[in-house]
Amino acid sequence: MSRRVTVPEVARLKKMGTPIVSVTAYDYTFARLLDRAGVDLILVGDSLGMVIQGHKTTLPVTLDQMIYHASAVVRGVAQAMVVCDFPFGICQSGQEVVLAAAIRILKESGADAVKIEGGVEVAETIKGLTRQRIPVVAHVGLTPQSVKSFGGFKVQGRDESGAEQIVADALAVEAAGAFAVVLEGIPSPLAKEVTRVLSIPTIGIGAGADCDGQVLVLYDLLGLYDGVTPRFVKQYMRGGETICTALEQYAQEVREGRFPGPEHGFS
């Protein structure tokens, strides 16, 4: 049965123990496919800086670019919830900038919610948005926008104080009103513990099987991205190879005069 995934629906999924399925998307065509496949939550992630734009990190992505991609995704979706990432630099610029950015995202793209990276340090920011009834997904652990201070894409919360910090971060964003939290790149037992202590759903990526849901970057899942593939990624197809084979076949047929055939022309 088709249903629109809303904020209360996401809470209900946790309550029912139904895993939340999330994948990133950045355009209309893939958004339609994800929606057709029954994905609950489509994340327009700033990972687009890496897999679409070819940057080494997510830091260069701008608000205008996020809105551009989120609007294309929203146009392809009938059922899934669409969440749009705040790009790097918004949360660092004060609450007025934050509020203006969230309003632009919701108004101009039609996304249902925004996602913000960070824990205790962004709790007030999240509170400012949720007080205005702007739905927020939080994101703690290996937050890619902090890659420079982490010294690379490194698993977080491995030692006791790191683990305590992540629990504190998760509790702070929940108290600030986030309706879900992405747990990225943390040990599986820690993700299990965070999921146990929170009443909002956790959505894991590189955080083990005990989260309330899972998210993957679409281009990783389909085997399209040939940059570094983290250990936590499962490639459900070798998309890059399949596409290359098709393109090589097209090139060969054009070069040999076998495409277009008579059936592809007009009389």
Q: x/- contact string, 51-90, with ligand KIV (CB under 6 A)? A: ----------------------------------x-----
Q: Measured from the CB of residue 236, what is the shortest distance to ligand KIV in angstroms?
A: 16
Strands 213-216 and 136-141: unpaired
Q: Across the strands, what pairs with 184? A: 141, 205
Q: Which stretch binds ligand KIV (CB under 6 A): 5-13, 39-47, 125-133, 149-157?
A: 39-47
Q: Is 137 in the site for ligand KIV (CB under 6 A)?
A: no
- Residue 104 C-beta: closest distance to ligand KIV, Å: 18
Report if residue 47 touches ligand KIV, rule: CB under 6 A.
yes
Contacts made by residues 54-61, CB under 8 angstroms, sequence distance 24+: 57/144, 57/147, 57/148, 58/87, 58/88, 58/144, 58/145, 58/147, 59/88, 59/145, 59/147, 59/148, 61/85, 61/87, 61/88
- Check 164, 184, 253, 256 and give the catalytic one: 184
Q: Which of residues 161-200 bind ligand KIV (CB under 6 A)?
A: 182, 184
Annotated active-site residue 184? The verdict is yes
**Closer Cβ to ligand KIV, 155 or 246, answer by number:** 155
- What's the Cα-to-Cα distance from 140 to each of 205, 210, 216, rounded to whole Å? 11, 16, 15
151: exposed, middle or buried (C-beta count within 10 Å: 0-12, 13-18, 19+)?
exposed
Residue among 80 and 217 whose Cβ is closer to ligand KIV:
217
Residue 48 or 248: the one with the smaller Cβ distance to ligand KIV is 48
* Inter-CA distances, 138 with 60, 120, 195, Å: 20, 11, 14
Binding residues for ligand KIV restricted to 209-238, rule: CB under 6 A: 215, 217
- Answer whether 50's CB lies under 8 Å from 96's CB: no
Residue numbers of the site for ligand KIV (CB under 6 A)? 24, 43, 45-47, 85, 139, 182, 184, 205, 215, 217
Residues acting as catalytic residues: 184
